Amino acid sequence: MTAIQIVRLMNREDRKVAVAVARELPAIARAVEAIVQRIENGGRLIYVGAGSSGRIAALDASECPPTFGTPPELVQAQIAGGKKAMTQAVEGAEDSRGDAVRDLKRIRLTGADAVVGIAASGTTPYVLAALAFAKRRKVLTIAITSNRRSPLARAARIAIAPEVGPEVIAGSTRLKAGTAQKLVLNMLSTATMVRLGHLYDNLMIDVARTNEKLRDREKRILMEASRRDVSAVEHALRQSKHNLRLALVMLKRNISAEQAKKRLAAARGHLRRALGE
């Protein structure tokens, strides 16, 4: 095949992914609501995967702190073979059931947590062992797999199974299956954070100001959310010590930082309630 023939074929196959994920939206929504409930009660969201699945999970988890201002331990990923497996294959890691149990014990898994097992085939021993251990601990278990009839789908309380069909390269699940996993994880983490109040409209009100780009973005977020000019926004940021939630309450209610703190405290941190919206 020529290069254009190859990429056309891949693009044609990739179009099937969003359709397959769309069929799973009710299950994804159930998972989101269940995860939100766990986090509100002090739990965490734990992804477990091997190979490409583990790397995709680690990517999603790593983006939560800068995007939503959450602590790194709130959403985390356990990958078979540990950190080394993020950049290279670790032979036999996905077959180790004992490693899965040790990894979850190491992070002190509790019944308040939610564990999402990710495996395209639904047969990866590391992931199956992690879910089995989680179930014994009364943990919420969720599966993301491309095979609805797999042991992983049967083992989880909630199964999300976008069936994307055969890969362009037979068995290379980093392709359509991996894309489906990325889409589902995007939804799980983003919708969870929206439900937990980490956004205002579609704005990243809890964004971490870790670089110049994000320091500039916090101003633009406040200007759009408050409809105030840059000088008012900069003043509110200084007075709030760059706490965007606090600054937004100050700007929209036209009150001092101390008054805004009291409103947020009375609303238990719920931004909309603090704003009276």
pLDDT digits (tens, 9 = 90+) for 108-151: 999 999 999 999 999 999 999 999 999 999 999 999 999 999 99
**What angle (nearest 5°) sits at the alpha carbon of residue 180, between those of residues 120 and 109?**
60
Average pLDDT of the residues in 256-270: 91
Quote the tokens at residue 83: 């950190």
Catalytic residue among 13, 24, 63, 163: 63
pTM score of the predicted model: 0.91
CATH fold of 212-275: Helicase, Ruva Protein; domain 3 (1.10.8)
Neighbouring residues of 164: CB distance < 8 A, sequence distance ≥ 6: 16, 17, 20, 146, 176, 177, 179, 180
Distance CA 137, CA 95 (A): 22
Distance CA 53, CA 70 (A): 23
pLDDT value of residue 193:
95
Higher pLDDT, 206 or 31: 31
* Position 91 pLDDT exceeds 80: no
* Position 224 pLDDT exceeds 90: yes
pLDDT value of residue 65:
94
Catalytic residue among 24, 40, 73, 94: 94
* Position 210 pLDDT exceeds 80: no
Quote the tokens at residue 203: 């704005």
Stretch(es) of the chain classified as CATH 1.10.8.1080: 212-275
Bridge-partner residues for 75, per DSSP? 45
pLDDT value of residue 90:
84
Give the C-alpha distances (Å, rounded to integers) separating 203 from 28, 137, 240.
Answer: 22, 36, 18
Distance CA 229, CA 220 (A): 10
**Is 63 one of the annotated active-site residues of the chain?**
yes
* Position 18 pLDDT exceeds 80: yes
CB-based burial label for 157 (10 Å; 0-12, 13-18, 19+): middle
CATH class of 3-195: alpha beta
Stretch(es) of the chain classified as CATH 3.40.50.10490: 3-195
**Is 13 one of the annotated active-site residues of the chain?**
no
